[in-house]
Every structure is written in C-alpha cells, then in structure tokens.
Chain A
Amino acid sequence: MAVKKFITGNFYDEEVLFPAVKKARRAGYRIHEVFTPFPIHGLDKAMGLRDTSLHTAGFIYGITGTATAVGFITWALTVDWAINFGGKPFFSLPAWIPITFELTVLFASVGMVLTFCYLCQLAPFVKKDHFNPRSTDDTFVMALETTDKTNEEEVIAFLNNIGAKEVSVEYRETGWWLGRYDKDRKVFHKD
C-alpha cells in the first residue's frame, strides 16, 4: 500500500493555531487535517471547509417521521380497520399530534446520528489515525500533506516559524482511515 508523508506541527494554544492555519493556507500548503481536543469555532472557516449539510439531512428525516406517523395512523384507523372510539370521528387528527411529534423527533435524531457516524466514518471497533495521541488532551495538531517536490526542511522551518512547539515527520499508509476532505475544501481566497 502506498505510504504518504505528512509533516505535523503541534501547537499548544488555539490562539496561535488560528493564525497559523491561515498562514499555512496562504503560503500554499495543503492542510491534511487539524486535530483539536475541543471544538474551535471558526476553525472550519479558517481551513476553508464547506459548511456541513447535516441540518438539512435532519430536516428531511424529521419530515419523513411526520409523514410516516400521519400516513400510517390515517391508514390504520380510517382505512384498514376503522374502530369507533366513543363516537369520535375516525380521522381524529388532533389526537394524533403527540405521536406525530414524537416520531418526527425520533426519526430526525436517529437519522442524524447515523448520518453523522456515516459521514465521519465512526463506528465501534473503527481505528483511525490522528498523528498525536495528545491531540485529544491538550495539543492542537496541524498535519500538512507533502508531495515528492516538497522541501522538508523548508516546511519544518515554516511550521516552527508560525508557532508550532513540536514538528515531526510522519509516514502513513494511505486509506480511508486518514479521512479525505478534498471535495470539501474550497480554494483559498485572499481577503
């Protein structure tokens, strides 16, 4: 399997990381990924990542839940086996609101979590690479991609220059476990 070389810069402060990400992109480096121990608002924008459409997926799942509930109950209580409950109309929509609401929420939540796990490729027994185990503790890791033409010393010097406390060269077998966001990445515009 192909082996790919990454150069990682480890930062200890998100306030150093933020401008560093911008500088790296401005200098034309391809950022493979930035690993952080907690969510940093705006970092996705700084990296030029597209917004997630998980919300839209959630909305679609929710609507599916609503339609399922209303459709199924209508069919069951008016068409399939209409039962007279205390002389009330067969099509008694107000009484179905609670279940319709619950199914909307259920479908939206379960659907979104499954979609989230699918998109992020998360599941039990999955092992993925994030270069530095301390990136889930207190270190912010920026991994830069390299090509044959990359001058290693230059990249290391650059990372040191923009505030990385430790820089290391890492070799990884290519594969899905590295995650790929090429499609997600927008071209950097100098603003």
Chain B
Amino acid sequence: MGLLRYESQVRPPLVEGDKDYHQVTEDICRPVEAAPSRLWWVGFLISVGLLIFGIVSVTMEVIYGTGQWNLNKTIGWGWDITNFVWWVGIGHAGTLISAILLLFRQGWRTGVNRAAEAMTIFAVMCAGQFPIWHMGRVWDAFFVLPYPNSRGPLWVNFNSPLLWDVFAISTYFTVSLLFWYSGLLPDLATLRDRAKLKWRKMFYGVAAFGWTGSTKHWQRHEALSLVLAGLSTPLVLSVHTIVSFDFATSVVPGWHTTIFPPYFVAGAIFSGFAMVQTLLVVTRKVLALEEYITLEHIEVMNKVIVLTGSIVGIAYLTELFMAWYSAVEFEQFAFFENRLNLNSPYGWSYWIMMGCNVLSPQIFWSKKMRRNLVLTFFMSILINIGMWFERFVIIVTSVYRDYLPAAWSTYYAPTIWEVGFYMGTFGLFFTCYFLFSKFFPVIALAEIKHILKKNGANYKAKMTEIENEPLEEFVQKHGHDHGA
C-alpha cells in the first residue's frame, strides 16, 4: 500500500465493501450481462405504453392543429411550454454533476455521473418535443435554422430569444451526448472484452469504437474530458439562462425581471437533482448497486437540494419584494392578485409551488432525514411536482390577466391530448432509461476504479492504520527516495 493518492480519513468511503478492481467490474457489469428481470419488463412495457399514448396525442395535434390543446388567444403557452421548461430544467443535473463537479474535483460524482448524464440527455430529448410540436405546422420546423432559402434568403431573427433557445438546446444536447459517449467508450470496451455471446461481442465491439486503454489514449481522453467539462460548465448555466430570456426579455408583468437567469438556473439544478434521486434511489436497489451509490451519495445530493431549494425560495421572495417596490401596478397585480391571493383562479398553484419547493426541502437540514431513502424518494417526487407548478405559475398566471381586462382569459383545464403529450414524454424518458440501464453500465466503471484506492472502504481502513503509526516508524516504512 503506497501513498500514491491520499484523501482525508474524515471523509466517508465512496465505495463500500472489500472491493478490488475485478470485483468492481463484476458488480457493475452484472446487471448488463444478466437477463432482464420481470420487474424490468413491467417497467419497460408501461413506459412503452405511455410513449404510444404520447405518439397518438401528438398525431392528433398534427392532424387537427394546436386547437386540440386548450390554449387560447391569451394563453398561448399553457401546459406545453410549462413541460418544455420543466424537462429542460431536469436536464441540468447530469452535466452539472459531470462537468462542474469534475472541475471542483468532487470524488462522489463518479458514482452517479453516468446515470445522471444519461438522464440529462433523455430529459433534453423530451424537452425538445414541446416547442417542436407546438409549432403546429411541424413539417416547416426547419424554418428555425439559418439556411440559404428561396425567400430572399430571409434569415432567422438572430436577436430573438426564441432563436437563442434553438441554438442553446441543440448545442446542449450535442455536447452532453458527446461528453456522455466519450466517457462511455472505456466502459463499453470492458463489456466488449467480457462478452461471451456473439451479438454482445458485435454490439459492444461496434459501440466501443476500438478502445484499447493505451496510455496515449487515456492521456488524450483525460484532456478531452477536462476541456469538455470546462466548456460544459458555462454551457449548463447558459442554457437555462437563455430559456429564462424567453420570458425575461418580454414586457409581460411577472416575466419582465432581471432575476430570472440565476433563479431559473438554481431551479433547474434543484429539479434535476430531484430527478436524479428519483431514479437512483430505485436503480441502486433494483440493480444491487448500494455499495457504489451509497447513502453518502444520496446525502450529498440532498444537501444540494436543500441549498438550491433555498436559493429558489429567496428568488421567490425577492420577486415579491421587487413587485411591491417597483410601484408598477401591473406587476403588483400579477404577483399579489394573480399569484399570492389564494382565492384568485390560480392562487392555489402558487401555494403548491411555495409548499413543495421552498418549505418541504427544509426538512433536509436534518442529517437523519437526508439519509432516509423513503423520504428522499418521496421528496424528490414532491419537488418535481413543485417545479412543474413553478413553470405553470410563471407562464399561466402572468398571461391570463395582464394589461387589458377585455383580453383576460381563464385557462380552464388541459385537454386529454395535452396531458397525453406530457405523459408521452414520460414514456420516452423512461423507455430510454430502461434501455440504458439494461445495455450500458449505469456507473462509470473506469472512474470508480480510478478513485477506488483513495475512496474505497477497504483502502481507507488500511490508510487509517498507517496514519496512526508513530512518525519514525511511518517514515521508515513508507518514506521513499524519489528513485535516487
């Protein structure tokens, strides 16, 4: 046991049990190599069912137009854009975990980053559906791209936040996908080299791109990961900032605020981590990966949740204060009448948002609660309900009664096709996640091995013994001469 890598013994281990490299490979590859369980099939088929419902709903919308949704002239965005912002927000945790925490050298990210990144990609795929199908004439969707056309060429409006969104979301999707897949290459190579069945050899052989794990490849791979992390960090922040610009650059009361970018980004991380919890609390149990996704991981993520939830809470209060302080009667009406007033048509949604996002996560100040899996799962669902209502509140309560009372409208309820579309994206998301958890290792194998000797429980135990040795003995045993 050398002193190649060192970490404070105060930190709890990130890999539990007496593991060596081979054991790590076995544990993480087992769910991929085993036949799918009955539970997997049930979950997968439910997801596919939801996906089919979504496809039917979207087909109805394409045939009959957005009139199939209960939108009206005043409320043009309703559920559809609420869902879009919600899914994009969820899609922020993965890249945050893999990029920002990589730069901050947070060892615990290795246990959860692969699944979180996959989740990010699927969430962004779901998010993208909403603006695309909302276009109505979806066969003209390519009009949003600046291509030389026969209309002049008439270019797209590069000054419009809606076009910024097109660039932000598509860039985010591409970069997340590249980051995720380049990280997967070594792990796919492991699966390829372990494969016994012919189709597995073929499939992982193609998917692993011929990865060998040579030192030169690792050197370039490390450089690539680091730079991609550096690029993704501002990218994550930019994406939800730009989504918030869709609202903040308008002059609608309730939207026209400078606090939106940081508030949206904090909310995105908040809901993204909640979704990671929802998935991982179940995944670690079903795939028996409790020793890799430990209670420690769950607790750390709950800490992020209580932090970002509180940031979001402060943003809500700041908004209220600014509405009052601005002395603009329209702003005050939007906040104090349309939102705060429980008896107004949508007052209830504001209070659901407040309850789920600001009050409920405060329970995580208690360590015991942070380590309670059932509560964590319950809270993660509650938070995402709250975050959905946040977007609903922002969109609907701002526009349904704005400047002109003659144009006021109440958005009664979504139609079945509107709900079906939303359910369909759940179907898409979980279908992808089930396939991912079946065919790809849900934990970054190579990265776990990289931290094993530093953060593994058995290695940490050995280190503690060594550290307690008297100084002279320690120097004699472990001191070295730099190869002289």
Q: Which residues of A contact B (CB under 8 A)?
A: 14-15, 18-19, 22, 33-41, 43-44, 47, 49, 51-52, 54-55, 58, 62, 72-73, 76-77, 80-81, 83, 85, 88, 92, 95-96, 98-99, 101-103, 105-106, 108-110, 112-113, 116-117, 119-130, 133-138, 177, 179, 181, 184, 191
A80 to B445, CA, bound (A): 52
Q: Is B214 an interface residue (CB 8 A)?
A: yes
Q: Which of A52, A81, A124, A137 contacts B152 (CB 8 A)?
A: A81
State whether A54 touches B224 (Cβ < 8 A).
yes
**A77, A105, A113: residue with the most chain B Cβ atoms closer than 10 Å:** A105
Q: What 6 pairs across the A-B complex have the smallest Cβ distances? A: A126-B210, A138-B21, A133-B193, A130-B212, A122-B209, A98-B164
Q: Which of A19, A54, A105, A126 contacts B231 (CB 8 A)?
A: A105
**B2, B25, B217: residue with the most chain A Cβ atoms closer than 10 Å:** B217
What A residues does B207 contact at CB under 8 A?
Answer: 124
What A residues does B353 contact at CB under 8 A?
Answer: none
What A residues does B245 contact at CB under 8 A?
Answer: 98
State whether A102 touches B231 (Cβ < 8 A).
no
- A65: shortest Cβ distance to chain B, in Å? 10
What B residues does A129 contact at CB under 8 A?
Answer: 212
- B47: shortest Cβ distance to chain A, in Å? 27
For the complex with contacts A54-B227, A102-B235, 10 further pairs of A-B residues with Cβ separation under 8 Å are A37-B190, A43-B215, A76-B155, A85-B157, A102-B164, A109-B175, A116-B182, A133-B194, A134-B193, A136-B190
A110 to B216, CA, bound (A): 20
Q: Is B171 an interface residue (CB 8 A)?
A: yes
Q: Is B311 an interface residue (CB 8 A)?
A: no
State whether B209 touches A35 (Cβ < 8 A).
no
State whether B209 touches A116 (Cβ < 8 A).
no
A136 to B164, CA, bound (A): 42
A49 to B214, CA, bound (A): 12
State whether B214 touches A33 (Cβ < 8 A).
yes
State whether A81 touches B155 (Cβ < 8 A).
yes
State whether A36 touches B167 (Cβ < 8 A).
no
State whether B159 touches A55 (Cβ < 8 A).
no
Specify the chain A residue showing the minimal Cβ separation from B151. Answer: A81
- B20: shortest Cβ distance to chain A, in Å? 7
Q: Which of B190, B213, B227 contacts A112 (CB 8 A)?
A: B227
Q: Which of B185, B194, B219, B232 contacts A137 (CB 8 A)?
A: B194
- A104: shortest Cβ distance to chain B, in Å? 8
Which chain B residues numbered 345 to 374 have a C-beta less than 8 Å away from chain A? none
State whether A117 touches B231 (Cβ < 8 A).
no
A33 to B219, CA, bound (A): 13
* Complex A-B: 26 CB contacts under 8 Å: A22-B483, A34-B215, A35-B213, A36-B215, A37-B446, A37-B449, A38-B450, A39-B222, A39-B450, A44-B216, A44-B218, A49-B219, A96-B158, A98-B168, A98-B245, A99-B158, A99-B163, A102-B235, A105-B175, A108-B231, A112-B224, A123-B209, A133-B194, A135-B213, A138-B20, A181-B216
Specify the chain B residue showing the minimal Cβ separation from A99. Answer: B167
What A residues does B153 contact at CB under 8 A?
Answer: 80-81
Q: Which of B2, B171, B216, B446 contacts A120 (CB 8 A)?
A: B216
State whether A128 touches B159 (Cβ < 8 A).
no
Specify the chain B residue showing the minimal Cβ separation from A101. Answer: B238
* CB within 8 Å for A116 and B221 given contacts A98-B167, A102-B171: yes
Q: Is B17 an interface residue (CB 8 A)?
A: no
Specify the chain B residue showing the minimal Cβ separation from A65. Answer: B171
Q: Which residues of B contact A (CB under 8 A)?
A: 2, 4, 20-22, 25, 146, 152-155, 157-159, 161, 163-164, 167-168, 171, 174-175, 178-179, 182, 185-186, 189-190, 192-194, 205-207, 209-224, 227-228, 231-232, 234-235, 238, 242, 245, 445-447, 449-450, 483
What B residues does A47 contact at CB under 8 A?
Answer: 215
What B residues does A125 contact at CB under 8 A?
Answer: 205-206
* CB within 8 Å for A73 and B158 given contacts A103-B167, A105-B171: yes
A138 to B21, CA, bound (A): 5
State whether A113 touches B231 (Cβ < 8 A).
no
A138 to B449, CA, bound (A): 9
What B residues does A179 contact at CB under 8 A?
Answer: 212, 214, 216
- B201: shortest Cβ distance to chain A, in Å? 11
What A residues does B212 contact at CB under 8 A?
Answer: 33, 35, 128-130, 135, 179
- A67: shortest Cβ distance to chain B, in Å? 15
* CB within 8 Å for A49 and B215 given contacts A76-B146, A138-B21: yes
- B15: shortest Cβ distance to chain A, in Å? 13
Specify the chain A residue showing the minimal Cβ separation from B26. Answer: A137
- A46: shortest Cβ distance to chain B, in Å? 9
State whether B167 touches A38 (Cβ < 8 A).
no
Q: Which of B154, B164, B211, B216 contacts A99 (CB 8 A)?
A: B164
State whether A55 touches B213 (Cβ < 8 A).
no
Q: Which of A52, A105, A106 contacts B220 (CB 8 A)?
A: A52
**A19, A58, A120, A124: residue with the most chain B Cβ atoms closer than 10 Å:** A120
* CB within 8 Å for A136 and B210 given contacts A33-B215, A38-B450: no
